[in-house]
């Protein structure tokens, strides 16, 4: 599987991506208008969570992945402020990776990071984040079925999937403890990066890590420049264009450009286009991405060494 394509998206792919973004904007906007920003973020992240599963799994299995995403979000909100319980449920979410990766690699990669995120941004909002996540997951499942974006699954060998689950649990727990002990802001993004780039497939983690880190840094710089130069309304329009390109490069796929366009989308949407807030979030995101990427490389090297001794 190649993660840096070097190809430009076709007009047809851009059109499909734009359609997906327009469909996605309706529930996100409705949640923002009718409830509040956290609900809108949960809808958006629920849709993002399902990107791989909606392309590689049958509909029934997609529903299980979406259900798990909502449960993880609710669990994170429920255990907020209780570090021992948080570590326990994070370990459980990592263990679930074994089952999902045996079906296809990366189909539920963000379970641990979503759990950690909602323990930070939505303490106590159990029902709200679960319902919003399920709504976002359902939108992605329906949209993927309508545009027929199915590709063959990529199952991981049973032993590789089990080793990955154990190492991911160790890495996520270490990051939660480290960022908590040092009081590092946006520590959940380090967990996010680890979950995205550390996959049970030999030989591709380094390329994914480099692509994600480079793309995140480039996207952060663009977001800061845009936020400082244009009004908030223009920021939101540009965020929409970045979202279209994010979807397109996720479908190619191209890790570097996917991350490069995803980063300004997230930064500009969830900082309301304010230059100061955007700069602060961008710097913190890049720092935590580097931490998560470095740990992913270390875990990948450890997995490779262990497999070499078998």
pLDDT in 10s for each residue of the chain, 310 residues: 445 555 688 888 898 889 888 888 899 889 988 888 889 889 988 988 888 888 889 999 999 999 999 999 999 999 998 999 999 999 999 999 899 999 988 888 889 999 999 999 899 999 999 999 999 999 989 888 887 767 788 888 888 889 889 999 999 999 999 998 888 888 888 898 888 888 776 555 566 667 767 777 777 777 777 777 778 788 888 888 988 998 888 777 676 787 778 878 877 776 655 666 667 777 787 788 888 888 888 887 787 777 666 5
Look at residue 310 in the predicted model and tell me its pLDDT: 59
Residue 2 has a pLDDT of 43
Domain ranges of the chain: 11-308
pTM of the entire predicted model = 0.84
Q: Is the peptide bond before 251 cis (omega within 30 degrees of 0)?
A: no
Tokens 């991506």 sit on residue:
17
Take residue 242 and report the two structure tokens written for it: 């970045």
Q: How far apart are CA 131 and CA 42, in angstroms?
A: 9
pLDDT at 147: 73
Q: How far is CA 171 from the centre of its chain?
A: 16
pLDDT of residue 1: 44
């Amino acid at each position: 599987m190649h993660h840096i394509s070097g190809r430009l998206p076709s007009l047809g792919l851009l059109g499909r991506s734009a359609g997906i973004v327009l469909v996605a904007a309706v529930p996100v906007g409705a949640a923002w208008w009718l409830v509040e920003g956290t609900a809108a973020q949960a809808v958006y992240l629920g849709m993002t969570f399902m990107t791989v599963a909606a392309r590689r799994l049958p509909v029934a299995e997609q529903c299980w992945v979406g259900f798990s995403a909502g449960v993880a979000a609710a669990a994170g909100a429920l255990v907020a402020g209780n570090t021992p319980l948080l570590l326990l449920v994070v370990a459980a979410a990592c263990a679930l990776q074994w089952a999902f990766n045996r079906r296809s690699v990366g189909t539920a990669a963000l379970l641990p990071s979503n759990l950690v995120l909602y323990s930070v941004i939505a303490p106590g909002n159990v029902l709200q984040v679960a319902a919003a996540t399920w709504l976002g997951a359902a939108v992605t499942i329906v949209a993927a079925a309508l545009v027929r974006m199915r590709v063959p699954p990529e199952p991981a060998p049973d032993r590789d999937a089990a080793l990955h689950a154990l190492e991911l649990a160790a890495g996520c727990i270490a990051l939660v403890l480290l960022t908590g002990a040092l009081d590092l802001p946006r520590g959940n993004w380090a967990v996010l990066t680890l979950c995205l780039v550390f996959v049970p497939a030999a030989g591709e983690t380094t390329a994914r890590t480099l692509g994600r880190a480079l793309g995140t840094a480039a996207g952060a710089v663009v977001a800061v420049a845009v936020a400082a130069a244009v009004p908030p309304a223009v920021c939101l329009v540009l965020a929409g264009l970045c979202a279209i390109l994010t979807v397109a490069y996720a479908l190619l796929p191209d890790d570097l450009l996917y991350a490069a366009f995803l980063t300004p989308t997230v930064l500009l949407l969830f900082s309301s286009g304010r230059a100061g807030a955007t700069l602060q979030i961008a710097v913190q995101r890049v720092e935590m991405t580097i931490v998560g990427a470095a740990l992913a490389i270390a875990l990948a090297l450890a997995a490779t060494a262990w497999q070499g001794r078998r």
